[in-house]
Chain A
Amino acid sequence: MIVRDLSAAQLRTALTGDGLRVQIGPFVVRLRSTFSSVRDYIASHYAYFPVVETPGLHFTAEVRRTGFWRTLVRPQATFGADSRFPFTPLPARLAPGLLEWGLNWCVGRLPHPWLLLHSAVIERGGRAALLPAPPGSGKSTLCAALAFSGWRLLSDEFAIVDPQSGDVVPIPRPIALKRQSIDVMRARVPDINLGPELEDNEGNPARYVAPPSSAVERLHERARPAWVVVPKWQAGSATILEPDSRARTLFHLADSSFNFNTHGKAGFTLLADLVDEASCYKLTYSNLDEALAVFDRLARGEVIHPEGANAS
């Protein structure tokens, strides 16, 4: 059963009662909320996610109202994870966003066996490209464009690496778009499923794109890391794909890990082996079509080590 198989009444009953247990990547998450906006968001953006009916749970994620008076005057929403409340309450209109930010917190902070990197991941032909980059680098826009252009979305936010096999474990969740990226993606994919208008922590417009259903349906299909591409959107820049050293890539990945220190020496070896297996690049771009073309060339094996050559 998937979320969209539930009637509106069943979804409401589950979310306001014992919770809706959903498979989100490798995690079984119990979702709870009394907000109709969160319910509508889950119905829309988690429609293809499997409903878990067997025992077992990784964590509970809940978006709920704050105190009674706040339900009457400037209502607020707060996020709870296993009875912890990591954020200050936010205006109730941001409740769907709070769910996503809270899920990020759960995946990034709660204990689990996987090595976690801050990176988008897309896949083609069983080979994964990791896109580790800080906010503002255009990572999510590029990831969304790739996810709707023949690449499978594994994640917009986390590269989850299995310490036993070195495989990347999919966690295809909604993709966060900000500012102009929203219009860019709406123009590229007219039937894209955008969530409600929200704002990020700096007050910029933000909306979530529902992941392609095909990516969610394949959430158990892992992939081998084949490329690490650090993207950087730069206004007016030519499209330049440059090889990056493996040492710098390893350093960058370790720095972008949420839980590297809990894995110790084994985590270092795991990341070093991942880098050893992958081709490592830096990509600077301003034209999204040219950037997509670079990834298509990578997938076809046309770009191995261009030694600084312009890839466009």
Chain B
Amino acid sequence: MPPWPWRTVDPGLVSRHWAGEDEWVVYSPQSTDVHLLNAAACDLLDLLSGRSVTSDELVSALAIRAGRAPDEELRQAVGATISSLDAAGLIAPDVP
């Protein structure tokens, strides 16, 4: 995974979730795009909301949330989710 920190592109994301469902709908007022996200992607967005976080820090934070070890499987899952969110224009590297 790239070592640089990540941040959300739009600080004003709005989301909607219904009890009993496993997907979130996220709206970006900046791009006017609507995204359908799973719980993992939403967790990651939540961790990046309003702050800059590296991939390693994300893995650690998600491991604590999930009550599991920050192992290779989790690192790969986080890497894949970061790639998806980056491709969707929801997050971007926070580099000067």
Contact = CB atoms under 8 A, between A and B. Distances in A.
Contacts of B14: 265, 268-269
A251 B25 contact: yes
Contacts of A276: 18
Contacts of B65: none
Contact of A250 (B16, B29, B32): B16
Nearest to B16: A272
Contacts of A272: 16, 25
B21 to A, nearest CB: 5
Nearest to B19: A246
Contacts of B29: 264-265
A265 B21 contact: no
Given A245-B18, A246-B18, A247-B16, A268 B23 contact: no
A221 interface: no
Nearest to B35: A251
B80 interface: no
A250 B36 CA distance: 9
| Interface range on chain B (Cβ under 8 Å from partner) | 10 to 19
Contact of B34 (A245, A255, A269): A255
A260 B16 contact: no
Interface of B is mostly: strand
Interface residues of A, number: 16
Nearest to B36: A251
Contacts of A269: 14
Given A268-B27, A268-B34, A245 B16 contact: no
Contacts of B18: 245-247, 276
B64 to A, nearest CB: 26
Contacts, number: 43
B68 interface: no
Contacts of B25: 247, 250-251, 254, 272
A246 B21 CA distance: 8
Interface in A241-259: 245-248, 250-251, 254-255
Contacts of B27: 254, 265, 268
A250 B24 CA distance: 10
Nearest to B12: A265
Contacts of B24: 247
A260 B32 contact: yes
- Identify which of A247, A251, A261, A269 gathers the most chain B CB atoms within 10 Å of its CB: A247
Interface string B3-46: 00000000010101110010111010100101110000000000
B52 to A, nearest CB: 24
Given A250-B16, A268-B14, A268-B27, A245 B21 contact: yes
A247 B27 CA distance: 12
Most chain A beta-carbon neighbours within 10 Å: one of B21, B25, B27, B36: B25
Nearest to B32: A261
Interface string A226-251: 00000000000000000001111011
30 contacts: A245-B18, A245-B21, A245-B23, A246-B18, A246-B21, A247-B16, A247-B21, A247-B24, A247-B25, A247-B36, A248-B36, A250-B25, A250-B34, A251-B25, A251-B34, A254-B25, A254-B34, A255-B34, A260-B32, A264-B32, A265-B12, A265-B27, A265-B29, A268-B14, A268-B27, A268-B34, A269-B14, A272-B16, A272-B25, A276-B18
Given A265-B14, A269-B14, 12 more contacts: A246-B18, A246-B21, A247-B17, A247-B36, A248-B23, A251-B25, A260-B34, A261-B32, A264-B32, A265-B27, A268-B14, A272-B25
Interface of A: 245-248, 250-251, 254-255, 260-261, 264-265, 268-269, 272, 276
List of 3 A-B pairs having minimum Cβ-Cβ separation, nearest first? A261-B32, A247-B23, A254-B34
